[in-house]
Homo-oligomer: A and B are copies of this chain.
């Protein structure tokens, strides 16, 4: 972790640079996969799965028996933990429901909005070393609360043709019935276009490697909505002298272990804090199974010494996915934060609480996207339809306004649509 003392504002853009994802070179390979799936459906999925996942599948869909077997394999302790997390995630996302209010903007002119679930949604869950059953909860629970009619989940099979049992347990818990053994860009293609066995969806959610990210970008340009642009995960810890260095070190490491391309940042007014945290990182790092990954991530990482209000300015400039404010005045500082995905306040709010179980969503904007995007929420699975109902008196009153504006925009038929109703 490189320490930078009182950096000039002109150097902030460089300091806030994330490890870059280069995806353009994947375009040809991903385009080829998309077009194979579009043309040959399930047959292409089986071929590509054999090619990349080294397994021959007959049925792409996970059977009810496989789900039941998986449930039997998950430990009671893990089941209870997943259930407890699901309750909290459910409470937090349920509270995001809102009621419809009709507004009479002009006498006789009533306008309102209704929230309608996106009818068909797809959830992608990566395979690989870590089975991300927590992401099944984070996407499946709001989809289910929103009332999405069709929820499809795709995840790559392992070498024996199975999906991790905890993923299947979590999917079953949140009521996902259509689970398919397909991963990578081919899974994104299947959910965007539909195949014989996998239904096409209106919006695709979920993390993935660079092939998945590129495929999501490409189907998005063709019209399938996606949750948000993706980038490597990151945390910024804003700490004062009172903060416990071992807490800070643990929080930085919990982000660093995600991947070699993760970025962790420490912002503090005190060089002393940086020294103590650095030595705590060394101690704690040794005990971690993923220490090589964490070490690499620490190469991309920075400690920045800044006093307020510059420290807060810097945080807003960086726009972290996760922001831990471990200071005595954390509540006041949080008021000043305008760009962040999720904020963790005080000494006892580690990022891992939000990653798993406090109730907030862990699908958050990375790479500075927190300037313009919020994380996944209930609204991500809904869309608002506006409605209006105007009475005869209402159009008589509002009509002249519409006519004048339409004529000035040289759209005469727009004015006529009013006149035909009011002239009689």
Residues of A within 8 A of B (CB): 77-78, 80-82, 84-85, 87-88, 91-92, 95-96, 98, 101, 103, 105-106, 109, 111, 113, 116-119, 129-134, 166, 202-203, 217, 221, 223-225, 229, 246-247, 250-251, 253-254, 256-258, 284, 287-290, 294, 330-331, 334, 337-361, 365, 367-375, 377, 379, 382-392, 394-395, 398, 400-402, 404-406, 408-418, 420-421
Contacts and interface: CB of A to CB of B under 8 A. Distances in A.
Given A109-B88, A130-B410, A358-B109, A388 B352 contact: no
A346 B344 CA distance: 49
Question: This chain: how many copies in the complex?
Answer: 2
Given A113-B377, A131-B409, A377-B384, A421 B357 contact: no
Nearest to A383: B374
Contacts of A258: 411
Contacts of A134: 405, 409
A111 B92 contact: yes
10 contacts: A85-B401, A95-B103, A109-B353, A116-B338, A343-B385, A343-B387, A346-B389, A353-B402, A358-B390, A365-B383
B416 A287 contact: yes
A82 B405 contact: yes
B421 A371 contact: no
Helix, strand, loop or mixed for chain A's interface?
A: mixed
A173 to B, nearest CB: 13
A114 to B, nearest CB: 8
A383 B391 contact: no
Contacts of A250: 413, 416-417, 420-421
A385 B342 contact: yes
Contact of A130 (B229, B342, B411): B411
Contacts of A382: 374
Contacts of A202: 371-372
Nearest to A118: B372
B405 A78 contact: yes
Given A203-B372, A334-B387, A372-B383, A413 B256 contact: yes
A414 B355 contact: yes
Given A133-B408, A394-B348, A374 B384 contact: yes
Nearest to A391: B348
Contacts of A98: 98
A345 to B, nearest CB: 4
A73 B113 CA distance: 37
Given A88-B106, A347-B421, A353-B398, A129 B405 contact: no
A80 B367 CA distance: 45
Contacts of A391: 348
Contacts of A257: 411-414
B288 A385 contact: no
Given A390-B346, A390-B358, A103 B92 contact: yes
Nearest to A104: B91
A403 B113 CA distance: 42
A221 B77 CA distance: 43
A378 to B, nearest CB: 10
Given A356-B414, A404-B81, A395 B130 contact: no
B105 A356 contact: no
A404 to B, nearest CB: 4
Contacts of A369: 223, 225
A220 B111 CA distance: 32
